[in-house]
Chain A
């Protein structure tokens, strides 16, 4: 078998045979609702489980089955995996991985703790989070903070191969999970605030060999674009489109990092992801549209070639990273079956696209407070087609360097950040954790030094004015209408990934530490439990021994741990407002814990 694998790595025909094998092995685990084999649950990023033992009628009786301390204090994003009888739990830096035996009350089968140079810690923007491991081909894939991608034997934790994807000395780090597809592992990179040029890289699942790398900007040979065949809103992108919209060499430190959740359509053989903000945050320093930062990408997984792109926020002026997940659904629009892609962007617009062609179908605000743009132009005949119409008052570019633009909604953390939404095919609704925060933004000139922050703006964030006073909402969204169905106000940003189930229940966590279950149809709260710390992890579910469990990592931190820990203030309100937005530190403290729920026996 080993010889066969080696052989296959070099022959295309053999390669595709092995591809089918590796792919179907993982697909089998993904299709089994008892398991949770990759972070996103499935390739479509639905975060939907067919399990219905826990349902809207009995979820109120949920109780804690068991807990597990990770031994790490920093922010815990991502979720555990369950493959067969084993649960895999990861931690933030130092990125320890535990394999727990579910047949023996979670006894530790093996523990992997990588040795990483701690100098990577301060190079990571916004805490040392890690969004979890992935399973495929009897391996567990971990992408460490220092950008080492490692394949572990799923049964023993032994290192099978390891490869370095970036250089932390240049500010290149990792926070994201990886996506195993066919015979490849697809990985991204972080460091947009350090002038890192983003890329997606495919490594061979068998041995870690680099197969292709597509950059977010640069010449066509770097971006893997075909000037004629790669399209932007139906039109060819043209030659070197990732160069011509930049001034000079600015693209070399252009940002567009790739740290979100990836999705994949096996029929189209396309992977989907978003690229982040252009560096620096001072827009005046980088004239042009800065393609292809802030872009939705569709790439062929075998070659890496871009099939289509859509740049949501040309020439970003607010740090509205485009990295959030692309959720792939098959739904009917006007009686016709459509293959759709739905994306909730940091910029506050919810986009619905045709994922085959990259046609833009819907672009509507998913928080009514969004004010930086009036609309996205939907008329294909307009020269503004697909472009947000920027409101001059909130344009940090038009107001200029050293001018403080106030009252911009959303804030830089976006109407939604990486915390993934869920979709239920039963209700055809998306369940979206959101932020309800606005900002003042003052850009100014900065110098680039490799490996040093490259920001160039002063920000103040505060809860949206004239609203419920809280900093978050949990909403249900109709992607065909582009409308909010219901919205639950939350005192803090909702920084936890949602889970929808066939039991008509939707789960999410809150920064105070609650795990909440709500009715998928109405949003009515059915259950809440306060875990030991704030939840920035994603809720998942699995079944073992015929019993359904719901599990979540708590452990406050991440972006949310920055401003919210001390509480946000509106600088325009003066000191009197501090009490109004109480500090998160009054509600919760650090500490990583896994909490697993079940119904009473």
Chain B
């Protein structure tokens, strides 16, 4: 069983430094939104119980990250570009997954967002009723965070952890309820 390990200490420290500088005194202490501190049935979580990725030294990714790669490229990439890189008309979600906290990210996917003005015609639809997205939201979020943190290169993850029974059951009940 894999236990806690810092995902990518180097990038993390750079991030922390950056946030620390920009945040100044009035901002709350920057939280580590990336490092996995515990795992449960094939899912990984930060100290704040937010889903996160886990990539082993040999490049093996956790199932959620792998699944997120697949679901992202079915549901999201037509607007947001390959591998969360953004397109000529939609933002790079690999950055959004880092810049937004988990709950804000969920909120935008579920309810959508509009930026329509002279310069922009940008509309994110509400996916709240789309089982193909909502049942895989943690997968997609985890994948994009892995991309945005720099821990996961572009392309299909070569090695992955097995799909746990708990994840399989959760998927079934989520899709079945649709």
Contacts and interface: CB of A to CB of B under 8 A. Distances in A.
B78 A575 contact: no
Interface string A567-601: 11111111100100000010000100000000000
A449 B134 CA distance: 12
A218 interface: no
A108 interface: no
A460 B121 contact: no
B88 A565 contact: yes
A563 B84 CA distance: 10
B132 A453 contact: yes
A561 B89 contact: yes
Given A565-B81, A566-B85, A447 B70 contact: no
A594 B177 CA distance: 51
A118 B122 CA distance: 9
Contact of A458 (B69, B79, B85, B133): B69
A193 interface: yes
Nearest to A556: B88
A459 B89 contact: no
A118 B75 contact: no
Interface size range on A against B: 35 or more
A460 B156 contact: yes
Given A404-B156, A572-B155, A563 B81 contact: yes
Given A74-B89, A127-B88, A453 B78 contact: yes
A94 B87 contact: no
A121 interface: yes
Given A73-B119, A452-B127, A562-B88, 5 more contacts: A446-B74, A453-B74, A458-B69, A458-B70, A562-B82
A562 B73 contact: no
A569 B130 CA distance: 29
Given A449-B130, A565-B86, A457 B156 contact: no
4 smallest CB-CB distances across A and B, nearest first, come from A561-B88, A566-B85, A571-B155, A122-B125
Residue of A440, A446, A566, A569 with most chain B CB atoms under a 10 A cut-off: A566
Contact of A562 (B78, B121, B153): B78
Contact of A446 (B82, B112, B122, B132): B132
B82 A442 contact: no
A566 B88 CA distance: 9
Interface in A357-380: none
A73 B88 CA distance: 9
B82 A121 contact: no
Interface string B65-80: 0000111011101110
Contacts of A570: 155
Contact of B155 (A444, A456, A460): A460
B125 A458 contact: no
A123 interface: yes
A251 interface: no
B79 A562 contact: yes
Contacts of A193: 78
A557 B121 contact: no
A406 to B, nearest CB: 9
Interface in A534-578: 556-557, 561-563, 565-575, 578
Contacts of B74: 444, 446, 453, 455-458
20 contacts: A72-B121, A73-B120, A74-B89, A126-B78, A442-B70, A444-B74, A452-B129, A452-B130, A455-B74, A459-B77, A562-B77, A562-B78, A562-B79, A562-B81, A566-B92, A570-B155, A571-B155, A574-B153, A585-B88, A590-B88
